[in-house]
């Protein structure tokens, strides 16, 4: 391969990369250590919890609350807006950027999955991976157990029903449910 970029640069560009690259392995281990420390805190340790969260994530807005346990790949590729809430068990695999707007509500055991893997057997056997970013607009509500797949954008004010699997973009101001998630109605403005 003629590419002179580091595996981290390839990963962040959305190109094929090897996750077992030593720099990436160390970054993942550091994130896992911080997540474990965060997950061991209680709600009575809010100042400490906030400090750890600010070290773990790329950005976190004011009055945002993520209930432990939280799991990430790197953490640094996640940006969460203000006044967001994530219930227990958020899994955010941030191989590519995960951008979450303001006032987002995330139910328990939600998965935000940016990694992709080659369909071709030889590339998969060689451990090549890639990723596509996820963007969640302002005031979105993801019900419990929702899975958001790589490359998905969810528009503002959209509600995704519990257990749904979001495989493609959802527009703003709709309710979507199912596997794969499909729009079932509009959200009326209050």
| Domain-embedded: residue 71 | yes
Prior bond of 74 cis (ω within 30°): no
List, by residue number, the catalytic residues.
117
Phi and psi at 138, nearest 5°, equal -60, 145
Q: Return the CATH number at 21.
A: 2.160.10.10
User: Do residues 17 and 1 touch, judged by C-beta distance below 8 A?
Assistant: no
Structural domain boundaries enclosing 41: 7-186
* Total number of domains constituting the chain: 1
| Domain-embedded: residue 1 | no
DSSP output for 153-189: EE-TT-EE-TT-EE-S-B-SSEEEETTTTEEEEEPPP
| Domain-embedded: residue 2 | no
Task: Indicate yes or no: pTM above 0.85.
Answer: yes
User: Do residues 57 and 36 touch, judged by C-beta distance below 8 A?
Assistant: no
Phi and psi at 12, nearest 5°, equal -70, -25
Each of the 190 residues of the chain gets a pLDDT tens digit; together they read 557 899 999 999 999 999 899 999 999 999 999 999 999 999 899 999 999 999 999 999 999 999 999 999 999 999 999 999 999 999 999 999 999 999 999 999 999 999 999 999 999 999 999 999 999 999 999 999 999 999 999 999 999 999 999 999 999 999 999 999 999 999 976 4
| Domain-embedded: residue 67 | yes
Q: 179: which 2 tokens?
A: 């596997």
| Domain-embedded: residue 109 | yes
| Domain-embedded: residue 162 | yes
């Amino acid at each position: 391969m003629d590419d002179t970029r580091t595996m981290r640069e390839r990963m962040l560009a959305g190109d094929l990369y090897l996750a077992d690259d030593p720099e990436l392995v160390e970054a993942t281990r550091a994130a896992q250590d911080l997540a474990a420390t965060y997950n061991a805190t209680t709600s009575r340790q809010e100042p400490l919890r906030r400090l750890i969260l600010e070290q773990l994530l790329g950005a976190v807005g004011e009055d945002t609350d993520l209930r432990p346990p939280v799991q990430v790949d790197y953490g640094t590729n996640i940006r969460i807006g203000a006044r967001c809430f994530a219930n227990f068990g958020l899994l955010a695999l941030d191989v590519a950027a995960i951008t979450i707007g303001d006032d987002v509500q995330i139910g328990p055991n939600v998965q935000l999955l940016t990694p992709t893997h080659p369909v071709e057997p030889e590339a998969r056997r060689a451990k090549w991976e890639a990723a596509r970013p996820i963007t969640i607009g302002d005031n979105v509500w993801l019900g419990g157990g929702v899975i958001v797949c790589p490359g998905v954008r969810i528009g503002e004010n959209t509600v995704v029903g519990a257990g749904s699997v979001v495989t493609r973009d959802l527009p703003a101001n709709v309710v979507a449910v199912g596997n794969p998630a499909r729009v079932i109605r509009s959200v009326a403005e209050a």
